[in-house]
Structure 1
Amino acid sequence: MTAIAIGPLAIPLPPLLLLISVLLGLLVAALVGRRYKVSVTDPLLTLLLGSLFFGRLVFIARFADSYDTIWQMLDIRDRGFDQGATLLAAVLILIWLIWRRRQQRQALLAGVLTAGMLFGVFSSVIYVGRQQAVLPAISFQQLNGDMVNLAKLGQGKITVVNLWATWCPPCQREMPVLQQAEQRYPDVLFVLLNQHEHPEIVQQYLQQTGLQFNHLLLDQQGRVATELGAHGLPVTLFFAADGQLISSHMGELSAATLAHSLRQLVVTEQ
């Protein structure tokens, strides 16, 4: 599952679980702080924002060639954060806070440990669920009418499957990024899997935009989204060469986040 559907809205799962973990951590810290008659809300928010800020800076530095403008660097909707740098910053800031705010030490540790343990459990559950997800052996129609089996198409190849629709603005914005990536990474199979639309609508959109992809398939019943719990659009699924789902991204991809996910895939294959 990549997201939770709430009515017409689809909320990406990892950020939602991080938010829940942080809120519960703040609650525990507040309860412990009340016992010692101290408040730790501001230090904990400093810890959270400071570590995320550092993680973003490191991510931008690693993928600087994927950003064209300052605005793209500032736009955190792509959720591009270096996890190692974020964790390191969190540990260093926590040590500094404990050293400077000894009266708040117990509450700080209680809040951080609660948030960290909860997010760790949530992440483990997601990982276990992902281990059971593979590239579906479902046949889909191409624009020329031919049928293609998705699992056979991706057999033995690192595969990126993007779920999209012509009416979806984030999908429209990320399509050029995917087209450039298909040209840049010839050893990676990119599959653009249109959702619930008639072939003529898709063909007309491609002609208007000048976009071209080697593998564009039509999932008119949304079978992949249903099988893998991929709610909302756009959704990008990253599969290893053995067909195992390695990661997913719900929402608009930037060139940097796509490059990051592909790099993780290559490392997994090694």
Structure 2
Amino acid sequence: MAGRLFPDRGLLGVLLAAVLLWRKAPKAAPWAILPLAAGFFVWVVVTTLTDSGAAPRAPGTSYAVLARDETLSIADRKGRPAVLNLWASWCPPCRREMPMMAEMAESNPEVDFLFANQGESRKVIEAYLRQTGVDLETILVDPFSDLSRHYSAIGLPATFFINPDGTLAATHLGEISRETITERLAALSSNDRKQTE
């Protein structure tokens, strides 16, 4: 963990130089802190974007399925690839992509399409579905947005492509296109064939 917080001694050197400058010339210190803060911000962004840590596995938590009196655990599915879409009724891009996502789910029965609502109650979800007429088979109720935290989704919609073994194959943040889903599903089935050979 310390390696992630301080990737090299250069950062410690810059911090030490800023402290020394602060002590010797307090009036110049704010100007010295500005580039330090900017550098730290860039380091955080680059570290986040290039983090080579292992992708999270599907969570073992069970979520209520909206239309059925049952729960579902993403990790305990029956060895099938999955597309997990995180959405909310207040999210305009979620609303725009949902009819297309419903069509993709219907035309790809070999893949589990899971639509996990983030942070809303059953009543709100049901009212939205009645209003729009969108027909989705498996809607998970995630009132505390646990899946957003688990997969570190920084916004909605977010779509995750999950291998049959529960490992994360690909992610897409923001509104997704039919072409992107088709491309990702082809990659999923290719990965599945390689694992079974």
Question: TM-score surpassing 0.5?
Answer: yes
Q: Percent identity?
A: 34
Task: Give the deviation of 1:230 after TM superposition.
Answer: 1.1
> How far apart are the structure 1 equivalents of 2:63 and 2:103?
24
Look up the equivalent residue of 2:104 and give its one-letter code.
A
State the partner residue of 1:174: 97
Say whether 1:229 aligns with 2:121. no
What 5-or-longer segments of structure 1 have no aligned partner? Answer: 1-120
Higher helix share: 1
Task: Give the deviation of 1:147 after TM superposition.
Answer: 2.3
What 5-or-longer segments of structure 2 have no aligned partner? Answer: 1-45
> How far apart are the structure 2 equivalents of 1:172 and 1:156?
29
State the partner residue of 2:70: 146
Q: Is the 8 A contact 1:155 1:242 kept in 2?
A: no
Task: Give the deviation of 1:156 after TM superposition.
Answer: 0.2
CA-to-partner distance for each residue in 1:115-158, whole Å, 9 max, x for gaps?
xxxxxx989945x33x3411111111122453222222x33010
> How far apart are the structure 1 equivalents of 2:97 and 2:171?
15
CA-to-partner distance for each residue in 1:247-268, whole Å, 9 max, x for gaps?
0000001111111111111122
Look up the equivalent residue of 2:73 and give its one-letter code.
N
Is the alpha carbon distance of 1:160 and 1:168 closer, same or farther for their aligned partners in structure 2, counting shifts above 3 Å? same
Look up the equivalent residue of 1:157 and give its one-letter code.
R
State the partner residue of 2:9: none
> How far apart are the structure 2 equivalents of 1:220 and 1:179?
22
Larger radius of gyration: 2
Say whether 1:213 aligns with 2:136. yes
Q: Is the 8 A contact 1:155 1:243 kept in 2?
A: no
> How far apart are the structure 1 equivalents of 2:47 and 2:103?
34
Aligned mate of 1:269, from 172, 188, 192: 192
> How far apart are the structure 1 equivalents of 2:48 and 2:182?
22
Segments of 4+ moved more than 3 angstroms: 121-126
State the partner residue of 1:246: 169
Say whether 1:259 aligns with 2:169. no
> How far apart are the structure 1 equivalents of 2:74 and 2:84?
10
Q: Tell me how large the CA RMSD over aligned residues is.
A: 2.0
> How far apart are the structure 2 equivalents of 1:226 and 1:122?
19
CA-to-partner distance for each residue in 1:66-92, whole Å, 9 max, x for gaps?
xxxxxxxxxxxxxxxxxxxxxxxxxxx
The DSSP-based 3-state class of the residue aligned with 2:75 is helix
Task: Give the deviation of 1:197 after TM superposition.
Answer: 0.3
Is the alpha carbon distance of 1:173 and 1:269 closer, same or farther for their aligned partners in structure 2, counting shifts above 3 Å? same
The DSSP-based 3-state class of the residue aligned with 2:58 is coil
Aligned mate of 1:186, from 106, 109, 115: 109
TM-score by length of 1: 0.51
Task: Give the deviation of 1:223 after TM superposition.
Answer: 0.8
Report how many residues are paired. Answer: 147
The DSSP-based 3-state class of the residue aligned with 2:186 is helix
Look up the equivalent residue of 1:198 and give its one-letter code.
S
TM-score by length of 2: 0.69
